[in-house]
A and B are shown apart, each in its own frame.
Chain A
């Protein structure tokens, strides 16, 4: 595990080679916004809010800070006209789904994002995958997962598993940046859980 030096927003930053740009920035108190990142989980690279500009060998490119590995002499810019434009639009795209999310509203204020720019399609979920990955990686329960692909993608609880596992856990609830997860869970519970019968109660 060797140490290298890179430059983030003009500041020299020491980092070990297995770190990502996001981790290196955070280690010196430079904030890069994220929506799908969680320290206990594998980096995901889904929300792209952490997009930053990097310069290597004279070439500038846009990368996801949560996944991009640090390199010696790497130059990182966490804010630029380009980066801000991208973050603003990504927020606008997400606000069409979850206009009341506090996390999104806060970022929207910072980047001047207009929550009414795109027609509302209130699915509430922004598909950050925190619940799905927490359930799989930390709890190893795989109760909630993604179904479908592309624009039809959504999260879904597997009723049989949820009925068995969720009552004792619900640790994913506070991870959700919107209210979609709880809604999805309670909907599953209402529609698909076996109704308690005297026998099953006594078995427990």
Chain B
């Protein structure tokens, strides 16, 4: 395809793509997300191809392998367009029926529909399934409508019109103002206003500036950025280019995991296509603005997702955090002003530019605007990726969208923010999803990994697990983080094994203060999070284990199979 050289040519290209497409032509969208892939959707894809070839329907039916559709629990998911009929837990042997009955004869196959376990009702379409009903999928909704490897699919949905609007109708100040007015807050963890960050980088002295997509997502239990970026790479790329224009940057980086082949492939294809179309590289859309993007892969350690460590890595140095007494927006890669945002933050940008900040601020709460992607996992009926307006209560997420707790168990807590986050007890479940409300409860939203915990889980064990994770994943450079986590892990482990002593809780509190006060980076400063939040809401569990833990632990060992080496350490 040839280069597009103006805003008008972009619209022409879009019309040309749309004119070749027949909205009434049946399309089969098969979820190609990581979870459905693991459930064997490759066999379903080939079964569809074979069946369609067998019935000589190649020209009449379009098959599309999409990104993640979110409802991982019930995968593989198949959606039939134009009716938007949604089938769950599809098996290869269902494929001939789907083609001949639903696609050809327009008949719904009841057995493949999702059945609500509470009401027994069947749901035919996406939005009738309780998991989807209370979501608002501003960013994630396009996943089922496009093939992530096709820029034409993205253009057909209005893609890159926000970029064209930014370059030809708005000045870079106006773009920045719109993001500031939208009150877009960073989705990577801190919730820092993106507009202010952009402004700092924009105003920082120097001509050479950088912008980065942080797609590291190292937090255990967080998988929404990968789902979004893999399923719709162009929405993130469009946001990045708009941001570069606002900041005054001509070089961007995408920093991601070395071990996500699907994501890497889709990013690389997207970059190549965008360049071919003149949406990336020299003189974008003939506007005179030039911008290039390079992909940088991590070496597989958690802390390399921290912004300053990440920039060290791009610089070719050991990915260890550096103190941010001078902000990275002023001095980042090679000492130049560098603006970093995470995947979801960038993906919001084209939407804000297209629909306006007023539309954006109409969604959400007073100080947390827009929607938020959440990856829901743990003791929950519906594991998956979802997108809700900020302000949705945790109760709605757990019970209406998540389907409640499996096996008739009671909910104990929900945990946000992974190993440096915190837990919110069941009694506070009516708390709205809001950056400040959650932070106030000692459970900052983090990137959006939400872990649901039932009554059987020990909060002391949960804290031990996170400390153990951090003991390996801290870089080990500064003393409070390395040694503080080492000692906290030792103490919590001994409490967990019934060997706790009077004074342990106070010692943990003192260590927490030193970690929070003296550590070099945010990892160490927030590492006590799980302990501090569980000691606040579940102090009785610690006290009980310190007092009576020995007998509890021993009797629990008799009932369970204990690995030999663990049993030995107890003796």
Query: Which residues of A pack against B, CB within 8 Å?
Result: 45-49, 51, 62-64, 67-69, 82, 85-86, 89-90, 93-94, 96-97, 118-119, 126-127, 129, 146, 148-153
Contacts and interface: CB of A to CB of B under 8 A. Distances in A.
Contact of A46 (B303, B484, B520): B520
A86 B517 contact: yes
Contact of A48 (B322, B473, B478): B478
Contact of B474 (A69, A85, A118, A151): A151
A150 B472 contact: yes
B510 A89 contact: yes
Interface string B267-304: 00000000000000000000000000000000001010
Given A89-B510, A151-B483, A151-B485, 17 more contacts: A48-B518, A48-B520, A49-B479, A51-B517, A63-B323, A67-B325, A93-B479, A93-B480, A93-B483, A94-B483, A119-B490, A127-B479, A127-B482, A149-B301, A150-B470, A150-B476, A152-B476
Interface in B478-529: 478-480, 482-487, 489-490, 510-511, 513-514, 517-520
Contacts of A94: 479, 483
B485 A150 contact: yes
A90 B479 contact: yes
B483 A149 contact: no
B518 A69 contact: no
Most chain B beta carbons < 10 A, residue from A46, A67, A148: A46
Contacts of B470: 150
B518 A51 contact: yes
Contact of A90 (B301, B323, B486, B514): B514
Contacts of A46: 477-479, 520
9 contacts: A67-B323, A69-B326, A86-B517, A90-B479, A93-B479, A93-B483, A150-B476, A152-B472, A153-B476
B414 interface: no
Given A48-B519, A90-B518, A153-B482, A68 B325 contact: yes
A151 B476 contact: yes
Enumerate the 5 nearest inter-chain pairs by beta-carbon distance, A residue then B residue, closest first: A153-B476, A93-B483, A150-B474, A48-B518, A151-B486
Contacts of A93: 479-480, 483-484, 487
A146 B489 CA distance: 23
Most chain B beta carbons < 10 A, residue from A45, A85, A148: A45
Most chain A beta carbons < 10 A, residue from B325, B489, B490: B325
A69 B482 CA distance: 25
A45 B301 contact: no
B471 interface: yes
A69 B325 contact: yes
Nearest to B325: A68
A47 B520 contact: no
A152 B472 CA distance: 7
A49 B514 CA distance: 11
Contacts of B483: 90, 93-94, 96-97, 151
Interface in B309-366: 322-323, 325-326
A90 B480 contact: yes
A96 B486 CA distance: 11
A150 B325 CA distance: 23
A119 B476 CA distance: 19
A8 to B, nearest CB: 17
Nearest to A62: B517
Interface residues of B, number: 33
Contacts of A126: 479
Contacts of A149: 301, 303, 472-476
Most chain B beta carbons < 10 A, residue from A63, A69, A90, A97: A90
Contacts of A118: 487
A151 B511 CA distance: 16
A127 B323 contact: no
B485 A82 contact: no
Most chain A beta carbons < 10 A, residue from B510, B514, B519: B514
Most chain B beta carbons < 10 A, residue from A48, A62, A96: A48
Contacts of B478: 45-48
Contacts of A96: 483, 487
A45 B482 contact: no
B454 to A, nearest CB: 30
A151 B303 CA distance: 14
Nearest to A54: B325
A24 B150 CA distance: 59
Nearest to B301: A149
Contacts of B479: 46-49, 90, 93-94, 126-127
A149 B321 CA distance: 13
Contact of A150 (B323, B475, B514, B520): B475
A68 to B, nearest CB: 5
A62 B479 CA distance: 15
A148 B303 CA distance: 13
Nearest to B304: A149
Contacts of B477: 46, 127, 129, 153
A97 B472 CA distance: 18
A68 B322 CA distance: 12
B325 A63 contact: yes
Nearest to A20: B325
A129 B511 CA distance: 23
Contacts of B520: 45-46, 48, 64
Contacts of A148: 476
Given A67-B323, A69-B326, A150 B471 contact: yes
Contacts of B301: 149
Contacts of B323: 45, 63-64, 67-68
Nearest to B514: A89
A119 B472 CA distance: 20
A96 B482 CA distance: 13
